[in-house]
A and B are shown apart, each in its own frame.
Chain A
Amino acid sequence: MTTTSEKPATPDLAWLDDITMTELERNPYKVYERLRAEAPLAYVPVLGSYVASNAEICREIATSPDFEGVITPAGGRTFGHPAIIGVNGDIHADLRGMVEPALQPVEVDSYVEDLVRPIARRYLEQFENDGHADLVSQYCEPVSVRSLGDLLGLHDVDSDTLRDWFAKLNRSFTNAAMTEDGEFANPEGFVEGDQAKAEIQAAVDPLIDKWIAEPDETSAISRWLHDGMPPGQTRDREYIYPTIYVYLLGAMQEPGHGMGSTLVGLFGEPDQMEQVVDDPALIPRALSEGMRWTSPIWSGTARISTGPVTVAGIDLPANTPVILSYGSANHDTGLYDAPTRFDFHRPPLPHLAFGAGTHACAGIYYANHVMRIGLEELFESIPNLERDTSSDVDFWGWGFRGPTSLPVTWEV
């Protein structure tokens, strides 16, 4: 006699074949909720890759000695080699050693207030008496790009150009759809990323020429060229460009995403918004929840197995890439009660928005302070913000995620 209990218990995962990039970019949460429930480590055909979707597996792989960093295929196509997020060993150590001095807490403390607060004030002055604004394009993004742009030494690149660059690099980096043959499904999706890179090189090459001859201690890129090099030598520009692109995409875009998402979360919970506006000391906690609620680097990083390894009961051969979906891990119901709700009073467990392991975000401290100062100045200037509810807030993105706009009004 045959009983159902003799059938394999594995769930039918045929639905994975039907996932589309468009669906993931609009709203990945539904697909990932099912992934976490049925197959928290699974091969997703449209991505041409394994995907880790719950907190335990993401953390295990991110910190495992059996895995090392790898850039996603579309990311690698966009950034080139050696990007800091996709290299390991000595090159990774050199690149981390290159970027970290300016990002160490002691160093960040020495400049971040003087860097960010005047920039936030400047953007607020442009609209604070208008009574209405789109906080994403008029505040969160400009504050984010101008702060980092000035830190890098890109004073002469205007903020709208920096915003345009990260948007193009973002769409190119996350143009992840693959064919069954392992080819990019939409190769034309990389064109705008290539255009952005050409523009970036046209703007940055002359600066690099200048900094090679005249080092500028106040420019992070100038220091990348010189720090730790023998006298008279600089790092090759082709060596640092991929990491410049990492900055111009993620580091430029994500503090803006983080501020924007936190604001959307707070608008959805008016009591919490009021508490934060009344007590700016709560801003870091609200930001931490905002980063969990809608993680800016939602599914932008990956690891690759260095040898055969078994994770969550699944045998992976050597050289198997796994995309780490931190945005999904941060909605893991095993860790968070009602994870779709923004609630900065929830039990304050650590989240994975900044990753883990040797490739954990180098800019955590910097980014947290940029976002904190941004929201402090915003609430200080306009404590009577209200969301313009004539339209819903749209979020976009699978690799990187945040609100596309956030219209608000206030009494002037």
Chain B
Amino acid sequence: MGFTATVGGRSVDCAEDQPVLDAFLRAGIWMPNSCNQGTCGTCKLRVVSGEVDHRSSPADTLTDDERAAGLALACQARLRSDAVVESTGAVGGRATHPLRDLTATVLEVADIARDTRRVRLGLPEPLAFDPGQYIELTVPGTDLRRQYSLANTADEDKVLELHVRLVSGGAATEGWLFDGLAVGDRIEVTGPLGDFVLPAAEEDDGGPMVLIGGGTGLAPLLGLVRTALARHPQREVLLYHGVRGAEDLYDLDLLAELAEVHPGFTFVPVLSHEPAPDGTGYRTGLPTDLFVDDVASARGWSGWLCGPPAMVEAGVKAFKRRRLAPRMIHREKFTPADALG
């Protein structure tokens, strides 16, 4: 006879007389622990649902107040029912916007760069989200879902803007978004999702930011940059857009306008595979390398990366090399599903 203990979506079997900690550790799920005899308190966790028996948990380590507040020592507690627990360190995260399912209407489909489309979706009602988050689209007539970042700021909550890159043979792009998608089409949308978001406005100190986007990885950065500059119009913001060639660039007018209004904002298009057309002055190479050349020290900055995994990995290394604190590095990797198009 036993029960199930769940933490972070992972469940383990826990025998009636087995300490909860023991059950997790044996299943390979690590949680902080040291003494395993109830005296150190390292393994304290919060019981979200279900009932535990504290057994010989010492009152010094687990006070009556803590028991009343739903805390338990994982090394001592036994389950009296199925239970969901969470780490005490992970609580207090920011509130999230509720996840919703909506039916959107296609308002605009525009080719904005080589193999790149802008899709605007009208919503029947506003969707609360944070800039930088993404939504999932259901490919009509299938179970396939594809994730696309929102290029919007939070007040652009009734018309969502997505940037879509054509993937050769991709069911969602070649088979749908680049083939027959028309204004007026209905699309099932789920969102918002993701944690690629700015700190809450009251915690945003206006510190310098560097953002690097690869291809349509620019999309969430546009929401982030515009929001960050609206909060602190003078802040230093360095945005790199890495593409193969000049034909892949888009939203140049929008970005030029932003730079005009905000003297601290710099936009750097970077071409990786093709030379810069005469007169453009575009730089060539990898945006992550150019960042290392351009910035002597990024201490105190925040860093934002959205693009293919190799670019994100290179960006993390470049940021750390310039001593940008890892805690301040935010990344949005294109998932393998995106490569399927």
Question: Across the interface, do B321 and A104 meet the contact criterion of CB distance under 8 Å?
Answer: no
Chain B residues with CB under 8 A of A350: 25, 33-34, 36
CB distance from B29 to the nearest CB of A (A): 8
Specify the chain B residue showing the minimal Cβ separation from A356. B37
Which are the 9 A-B pairs with shortest beta-carbon distances?
Answer: A105-B41, A364-B40, A383-B320, A348-B30, A380-B325, A364-B34, A350-B36, A365-B40, A284-B32
Roughly how many angstroms separate A162 CA and B151 CA in the complex, as a whole number?
Answer: 56
Specify the chain A residue showing the minimal Cβ separation from B36. A350
CB distance from B28 to the nearest CB of A (A): 6
Question: Across the interface, do A365 and B34 meet the contact criterion of CB distance under 8 Å?
Answer: yes
Question: Across the interface, do A100 and B60 meet the contact criterion of CB distance under 8 Å?
Answer: yes
Binding site for A on B (CB under 8 A): 25, 28-30, 32-37, 39-42, 44, 60-61, 63, 66, 89, 297, 299, 316, 319-327, 329
Question: Across the interface, do B320 and A347 meet the contact criterion of CB distance under 8 Å?
Answer: no
Q: Does A277 contact B (CB under 8 A)?
A: yes
CB distance from B295 to the nearest CB of A (A): 12
From B28, B42, B323, contact of A384 by CB (8 A): B323
Q: Which of A161-213 contact B (CB under 8 A)?
A: none
Binding site for B on A (CB under 8 A): 100, 104-106, 277-281, 284-285, 288, 347-350, 354, 356-357, 360-361, 364-365, 368, 379-384, 410-412
Roughly how many angstroms separate A384 CA and B322 CA in the complex, as a whole number?
Answer: 8
Specify the chain B residue showing the minimal Cβ separation from A291. B34
Can you offer 11 A-B residue contacts whose CB atoms are under 8 A? A105-B44, A356-B37, A360-B39, A364-B34, A364-B42, A365-B42, A380-B325, A381-B325, A382-B323, A383-B319, A411-B323
Roughly how many angstroms separate A129 CA and B307 CA in the complex, as a whole number?
Answer: 32
Chain A residues with CB under 8 A of B25: 347-350
Specify the chain A residue showing the minimal Cβ separation from B321. A384
Q: Which of B25, B44, B66, B327 has the most CB of A within 10 A?
A: B327
Specify the chain B residue showing the minimal Cβ separation from A355. B35
Question: Across the interface, do A104 and B28 meet the contact criterion of CB distance under 8 Å?
Answer: no
Roughly how many angstroms separate A354 CA and B34 CA in the complex, as a whole number?
Answer: 7
Roughly how many angstroms separate A204 CA and B150 CA in the complex, as a whole number?
Answer: 63
Chain B residues with CB under 8 A of A288: 32-34
Chain B residues with CB under 8 A of A277: 320, 326
Chain A residues with CB under 8 A of B33: 288, 348, 350
Question: Across the interface, do A106 and B63 meet the contact criterion of CB distance under 8 Å?
Answer: yes
Chain B residues with CB under 8 A of A105: 40-42, 44, 61
Roughly how many angstroms separate A288 CA and B44 CA in the complex, as a whole number?
Answer: 16
Roughly how many angstroms separate A368 CA and B39 CA in the complex, as a whole number?
Answer: 14
Chain B residues with CB under 8 A of A383: 319-320, 323-326
Chain A residues with CB under 8 A of B325: 380-381, 383
Chain B residues with CB under 8 A of A285: 30, 32
Roughly how many angstroms separate A279 CA and B316 CA in the complex, as a whole number?
Answer: 12
- Given A279-B326, A368-B32, A412-B323, list of 20 further CB < 8 A pairs? A105-B42, A105-B44, A106-B63, A278-B329, A281-B89, A285-B30, A348-B28, A354-B35, A356-B37, A360-B37, A361-B35, A364-B34, A365-B40, A365-B41, A368-B34, A382-B323, A384-B320, A384-B321, A384-B322, A411-B323
Roughly how many angstroms separate A257 CA and B28 CA in the complex, as a whole number?
Answer: 27
Specify the chain B residue showing the minimal Cβ separation from A376. B327
Given contacts A106-B66, A348-B30, A350-B25, contact A364 B35 (CB under 8 A): yes
Chain A residues with CB under 8 A of B60: 100, 104
Q: Which of A105, A384, A410 has the most CB of B within 10 A?
A: A105
Roughly how many angstroms separate A241 CA and B326 CA in the complex, as a whole number?
Answer: 43
Roughly how many angstroms separate A365 CA and B34 CA in the complex, as a whole number?
Answer: 8
CB distance from B313 to the nearest CB of A (A): 10
Chain B residues with CB under 8 A of A361: 35, 40
CB distance from A406 to the nearest CB of B (A): 19
Chain B residues with CB under 8 A of A356: 35-37
Roughly how many angstroms separate A278 CA and B326 CA in the complex, as a whole number?
Answer: 5
Specify the chain B residue showing the minimal Cβ separation from A108. B41
CB distance from B84 to the nearest CB of A (A): 20
Specify the chain A residue showing the minimal Cβ separation from B40. A364
Specify the chain A residue showing the minimal Cβ separation from B319. A383
Chain A residues with CB under 8 A of B37: 356-357, 360
Specify the chain B residue showing the minimal Cβ separation from A353. B34
From A280, A360, A384, A410, contact of B35 by CB (8 A): A360
CB distance from A409 to the nearest CB of B (A): 13
Roughly how many angstroms separate A317 CA and B325 CA in the complex, as a whole number?
Answer: 58
CB distance from B135 to the nearest CB of A (A): 26
CB distance from B213 to the nearest CB of A (A): 20
CB distance from B196 to the nearest CB of A (A): 15
Question: Across the interface, do B320 and A380 meet the contact criterion of CB distance under 8 Å?
Answer: no
Chain B residues with CB under 8 A of A381: 299, 323, 325
CB distance from B301 to the nearest CB of A (A): 12
Roughly how many angstroms separate A296 CA and B66 CA in the complex, as a whole number?
Answer: 32
Given contacts A284-B32, A348-B25, contact A354 B40 (CB under 8 A): yes
Specify the chain A residue showing the minimal Cβ separation from B25. A348
Q: Which of A106, A280, A381 has the most CB of B within 10 A?
A: A106
Roughly how many angstroms separate A326 CA and B39 CA in the complex, as a whole number?
Answer: 19
From B34, B39, B40, B321, contact of A411 by CB (8 A): B321
CB distance from A386 to the nearest CB of B (A): 10
Question: Across the interface, do B327 and A380 meet the contact criterion of CB distance under 8 Å?
Answer: yes
Roughly how many angstroms separate A382 CA and B323 CA in the complex, as a whole number?
Answer: 6
Specify the chain B residue showing the minimal Cβ separation from A383. B320
Chain B residues with CB under 8 A of A347: 25, 28
Roughly how many angstroms separate A384 CA and B327 CA in the complex, as a whole number?
Answer: 13
Specify the chain B residue showing the minimal Cβ separation from A289. B30
Chain A residues with CB under 8 A of B89: 281
Roughly how many angstroms separate A208 CA and B7 CA in the complex, as a whole number?
Answer: 48
Roughly how many angstroms separate A280 CA and B326 CA in the complex, as a whole number?
Answer: 8
Chain B residues with CB under 8 A of A284: 32
From B42, B63, B324, contact of A368 by CB (8 A): B42
CB distance from A276 to the nearest CB of B (A): 9
Roughly how many angstroms separate A106 CA and B319 CA in the complex, as a whole number?
Answer: 37
Roughly how many angstroms separate A133 CA and B319 CA in the complex, as a whole number?
Answer: 21
Roughly how many angstroms separate A10 CA and B32 CA in the complex, as a whole number?
Answer: 41
Roughly how many angstroms separate A347 CA and B28 CA in the complex, as a whole number?
Answer: 6
CB distance from B197 to the nearest CB of A (A): 18
Question: Across the interface, do A104 and B329 meet the contact criterion of CB distance under 8 Å?
Answer: no
Roughly how many angstroms separate A379 CA and B328 CA in the complex, as a whole number?
Answer: 12
Question: Across the interface, do B327 and A280 meet the contact criterion of CB distance under 8 Å?
Answer: yes
Question: Across the interface, do A104 and B42 meet the contact criterion of CB distance under 8 Å?
Answer: no
